[in-house]
Chains A and B, each alone.
Chain A
Amino acid sequence: MLVTNKQPNPNRQESQRRATWFKTLNISRLTLASPLAYVIAFLLTFLIGGVVIYALTGQNPISVYSSFFSYSFFSQYGILEVLAKATPIIIAGAGMIIAFRCGLWNLGAEGQMAIGAIVATAIGVNLNLPAGILLPIIFLASFIGGALWSGIAGFLKTRFGVHEMLSTLMLNYIALKLLEYMISGPLSMPHPNYPRSSEILLQAQMPFLQYPLNVTFLIALALIPIVWFIINRTSLGYRLQAVGFGREAARLAGMDIAKLTMIVMLISGGISALGGTVEVVGDFMRMERNVTGGYGFTAIVVVMLAREEIIAMPFAAFFISGMLVGASSLTLAGIPASFSQILIGLLLLCVVFAGYIERWLKQRWEYAGKIAC
């Protein structure tokens, strides 16, 4: 505290000296901060995971990991399964990204998927129409159902200032209980062994490309350019990003933030709900308790991993899906399958941590650059 004479910070000189080695590569180091941070996150995840594997089972973590991923990414059936599992995750993630880009934390994809599944089942079981009419009706109705569901959170936010993070999370549990009620009550099949709905009509069942990969996967893929277009090429996308990136500037520019919040919540929830729809019409062909499979929550991880970038999101979804699919191979090594969930959670933590590393690196490097000038 009583120091008065300023001494040059030795750390600064050090970073200045080290600042030179990289110049030979002739790339700005700043552009490398982000990939580097990701590499650190992945290494850290599998390092910690490896320590746990070794501590629990005494097996070589590398061989466990290689069997873990070789099934997911290097066997034909494994790959198909990975893509199939990624389908609802991608759809839920696409809906979520629209909200995130507007600065709205819609964490309700799981519940919105449940609503989508309920609507799809209710129509798919009862409405006997040709496929060409029935399927569009199912998708449209699911969209509307999900939109209204997340619209509750939008209404609470714009009218009473309830934070959407809380309301959407809470609505998840209500929607999942509603789903359970539906399969044991109004939508229950006659004399079920366990709570489940009747099978949906044959014309509502979407064909498989090659089992287990369903045509719904193509729908998920088609959604990516559509959402990209909405975000980047429409005035709605422009405005929602303006609010997300500069709320005060958007307000001063006269944007109706409440109205925009409502619109974005409706679209986001509507798209996410389709994740539940495809599980009904492209996988289960009926509704069961685990029809949403936690994919709505997994999508949160995927969106964070992709840093809310719509183009990167499917790849993050494939990776996470691969970890989920590979879980079954873990049991062969005597490790519980749920260990892959632990790895996913760990990965998310490490990616968040990597974000800090990245910011720190950028600050440091930008600073070092200035000193050198």
Chain B
Amino acid sequence: MEETSTPEIVLEVKGISKHFGSVQALDCVSLSFRKGEIHTLLGENGAGKTTLMNIIYGLYQKDAGEILVNGKVYEIRSPRDSLQLGIGMVPQFFKLVPDLSILENIYLFMEKTKFIIDHKGAKAIIQQLSEMFGFGLEEMVDREVGSLTEGEKQKVEILKILARGSKTLLFDEATNVLAPNELDSFLQIVKDLNKSGYSIIYITHRLQEALQISDRISAFRKGKLVGTISGKEATLEKLTVMMVGAELEKTSAVMPQEKGASILEVKDLNVIDERGLLALKNVSCQFYEGEIVGLAGIEGNGSNYLAEALIGLRRVKSGKVIYRGSDITRSLPLHRMKLGMSLMPSSNALVPLFSVRDNSILDYPEKPPFSRHGLLDRKAITAHAKRIVTDYQVQTPSILLQAVKLSGGNRQRLAIGRKIESNPKFMIAYHPTKGLDIKSQSFIYEKLLTMKKAGMTVLFMGTDLDELLLVSNRLMVIYRGEIVGVFDDLRSVSKFDIGVLMTGGARCEGVESVGN
């Protein structure tokens, strides 16, 4: 697998660790990048690959470890440092000034040696680069960036770092913004750049892309580097194994159960995102009383849109949502909550500057006994808050403590307590255990399972398959806004099967048609 002559290492990270709050985003990662290779970092969102890139580029500061560029240790404190070392990044979200021309945007980023703007010189360099790699921007360098397509903007971003003289190029989830027809030409550009001697670090969660362009692939999971394999040996199966984790044969121990009465039905739901693209495409599914349905999906594939559309926070373009026989497609969130629906979010469940007590009624401040005729009843609220704090083991010195001072686990305990106390019939749990310690996680599973036994339905959205298989009776998989798989009996389904679907590996043969 290794070539005989030792390849030149342009960039090396040793023992890099980084945490955000209680979450270990990167755990002692060591990795080297060779000169002139396309090295793909593969992993789910939150696996740590983007964090590593941001540390190399100087946007984040590492907790521990060192970065070696051309064999020498450097302390990279800001992108200015990394750019100086010849490392440039094409960010996932473009950092361009829409009112300035392509030329001006790139010029802004170039190193200034003269006080007076050297338009002609800059223009010549940019046009030359654009022509060299077939970007097709030569004739339009004076156009305003705001009028460009996303694909063209991306090319401007690439030109920026090329013009700055970067030799190692980082691409962060570069294809997320591209339309499907722009994909091939983009990958060709990456290959061409590589052929002309640029070293490329390519971050993605899409297996096909990784297989198409990589010389080597390193997979990340939960902040750890799983391993590195060469592009030649990589197969879909191997990559899925690396991405999803060991115990691939593991299946669920949850017995399938008799379906109860139907509670919620979704028919051909289409939802549009902020850019006007379809975030959900013809999603149909059905839920029954007393079950937990997992929705496996990597972030960015539409599960957040589904959560918001179901609770009424996002407008639906077409399709229907039917709750216990009545059409609620256009109802307000508050109306849906009164009917018994509830949304348990991964964050922002609490008002940070409100006390624990005040946060305990956030979903239902109007409801008696907490208020009557518009007046709050402090006694009732205090009793309610105390009950939640006790029953849901929220550790706080006082119910008057500001919620922002609680730890993440206690915040989610308070939030789920508040949700469950309103006795919901259908709960959408959107990544409810994200960033929590194991104890808090299992506490939340326990509460959801108890509620399920009492007849509540839970739509559990998540990325972690261990978690989903632990609690779900049934499971759906969402990929690029579509439901690509529904499993009614989880005992026969392995993590591998689900992982392949989640990453767009293949459409499962024999998947039950959705919605029956």
Partners in one complex: yes
The CA of A249 and the CA of B350, in the complex, are separated in Å by: 6
A242 touches B362 (CB 8 A): yes
A235, A236, A238, A253: residue with the most chain B Cβ atoms closer than 10 Å: A253
Q: Which B residues touch A248, using CB under 8 A?
A: 348
B375 touches A1 (CB 8 A): no
Asked whether any CB of chain A lies closer than 8 Å to the CB of B165, the reply is no
Least CB distance from B155 to A in Å reads 30
Least CB distance from A3 to B in Å reads 5
A234 touches B362 (CB 8 A): no
Interface range on chain B (Cβ under 8 Å from partner):
35 or more
Least CB distance from A253 to B in Å reads 5
A255 touches B334 (CB 8 A): yes
By secondary structure, the A interface counts as helix
A4 touches B350 (CB 8 A): no
The CA of A29 and the CA of B301, in the complex, are separated in Å by: 48
The CA of A2 and the CA of B72, in the complex, are separated in Å by: 10
Interface residues of A in 214-253 (CB under 8 A from B): 233-239, 241-242, 245-246, 248-253
Choose among B354, B363, B366, B375 the residue that contacts A233 (Cβ–Cβ < 8 A): B375
B75 touches A245 (CB 8 A): no
Interface residues of A in 147-190 (CB under 8 A from B): none
The CA of A110 and the CA of B432, in the complex, are separated in Å by: 47
Closest B residue to A246 using CB positions: B351
Least CB distance from B59 to A in Å reads 16
A2 with B374: in contact, given A235-B365, A249-B348 (CB under 8 Å)? no
Q: Which A residues touch B374, using CB under 8 A?
A: 234-236
Q: Which B residues touch A246, using CB under 8 A?
A: 348, 350-354
The CA of A254 and the CA of B332, in the complex, are separated in Å by: 8
Asked whether any CB of chain A lies closer than 8 Å to the CB of B337, the reply is yes
Least CB distance from B422 to A in Å reads 11
The CA of A24 and the CA of B73, in the complex, are separated in Å by: 46
Q: Which B residues touch A236, using CB under 8 A?
A: 374
Asked whether any CB of chain A lies closer than 8 Å to the CB of B322, the reply is no
Choose among A2, A237, A242 the residue that contacts B351 (Cβ–Cβ < 8 A): A242
A2 touches B74 (CB 8 A): yes
**What sequence of 0s and 1s flags, for each residue 42-86 of chain A, a beta carbon within 8 Å of any chain B beta carbon?**
000000000000000000000000000000000000000000000
Least CB distance from A87 to B in Å reads 29
B365 touches A239 (CB 8 A): yes
Asked whether any CB of chain A lies closer than 8 Å to the CB of B163, the reply is no
The CA of A174 and the CA of B66, in the complex, are separated in Å by: 62
A1 touches B81 (CB 8 A): yes
Q: Which B residues touch A249, using CB under 8 A?
A: 348-352, 362
Choose among B75, B336, B348, B366 the residue that contacts A252 (Cβ–Cβ < 8 A): B348
A254 with B348: in contact, given A2-B74, A235-B374 (CB under 8 Å)? no
Asked whether any CB of chain A lies closer than 8 Å to the CB of B343, the reply is yes
Interface residues of B in 364-382 (CB under 8 A from A): 365-366, 370-371, 374-376, 378
| Total count of chain A residues near the partner, CB < 8 A | 24
Asked whether any CB of chain A lies closer than 8 Å to the CB of B409, the reply is no
A234 touches B345 (CB 8 A): no
The CA of A248 and the CA of B75, in the complex, are separated in Å by: 37
The CA of A239 and the CA of B334, in the complex, are separated in Å by: 13
The CA of A256 and the CA of B336, in the complex, are separated in Å by: 13
Asked whether any CB of chain A lies closer than 8 Å to the CB of B77, the reply is yes
Interface residues of A in 272-308 (CB under 8 A from B): none
Closest B residue to A3 using CB positions: B75
Q: Which B residues touch A237, using CB under 8 A?
A: 376
Choose among B76, B354, B363, B375 the residue that contacts A245 (Cβ–Cβ < 8 A): B354
The CA of A248 and the CA of B332, in the complex, are separated in Å by: 16
B311 touches A254 (CB 8 A): yes
The CA of A55 and the CA of B424, in the complex, are separated in Å by: 70
The CA of A236 and the CA of B366, in the complex, are separated in Å by: 9
**What sequence of 0s and 1s flags, for each residue 47-74 of chain B, a beta carbon within 8 Å of any chain A beta carbon?**
0000000000000000000100000011
Q: Which A residues touch B349, using CB under 8 A?
A: 249, 252
The CA of A150 and the CA of B334, in the complex, are separated in Å by: 26
Q: Which B residues touch A255, using CB under 8 A?
A: 334
The CA of A251 and the CA of B312, in the complex, are separated in Å by: 11
Asked whether any CB of chain A lies closer than 8 Å to the CB of B147, the reply is no
The CA of A3 and the CA of B348, in the complex, are separated in Å by: 39
The CA of A250 and the CA of B362, in the complex, are separated in Å by: 7
Q: Which B residues touch A233, using CB under 8 A?
A: 375-376, 378
Least CB distance from B448 to A in Å reads 18
The CA of A238 and the CA of B334, in the complex, are separated in Å by: 16
Closest A residue to B334 using CB positions: A254
Closest A residue to B333 using CB positions: A254
B73 touches A4 (CB 8 A): yes
Closest B residue to A237 using CB positions: B376
Least CB distance from A8 to B in Å reads 16
The CA of A149 and the CA of B287, in the complex, are separated in Å by: 48
Asked whether any CB of chain A lies closer than 8 Å to the CB of B313, the reply is yes
The CA of A241 and the CA of B355, in the complex, are separated in Å by: 12
The CA of A245 and the CA of B376, in the complex, are separated in Å by: 18
B375 touches A234 (CB 8 A): yes
The CA of A249 and the CA of B376, in the complex, are separated in Å by: 20
Asked whether any CB of chain A lies closer than 8 Å to the CB of B358, the reply is yes
A235, A236, A245: residue with the most chain B Cβ atoms closer than 10 Å: A235
Asked whether any CB of chain A lies closer than 8 Å to the CB of B450, the reply is no
A4 touches B352 (CB 8 A): no
Choose among B74, B350, B353 the residue that contacts A1 (Cβ–Cβ < 8 A): B74
The CA of A245 and the CA of B404, in the complex, are separated in Å by: 11
The CA of A255 and the CA of B343, in the complex, are separated in Å by: 13
A sample of 10 inter-chain contacts (CB < 8 A) reads A1-B74, A1-B84, A2-B75, A235-B366, A242-B354, A242-B365, A246-B351, A246-B354, A254-B311, A256-B332
Other A-B contacts than A238-B365, A245-B351, 7 sampled, CB-CB below 8 A, are: A1-B75, A2-B74, A235-B366, A241-B354, A252-B313, A253-B363, A254-B311
B-contacting residues of A (Cβ < 8 Å)? 1-4, 233-239, 241-242, 245-246, 248-256
A-contacting residues of B (Cβ < 8 Å)? 66, 73-77, 81, 84, 311-313, 332-334, 336-337, 343, 345, 348-354, 358, 361-363, 365-366, 370-371, 374-376, 378
Of all A-B residue pairs in the complex, the 8 with the closest CB atoms, nearest first, are A246-B351, A254-B333, A235-B371, A245-B353, A248-B348, A253-B362, A235-B365, A254-B334
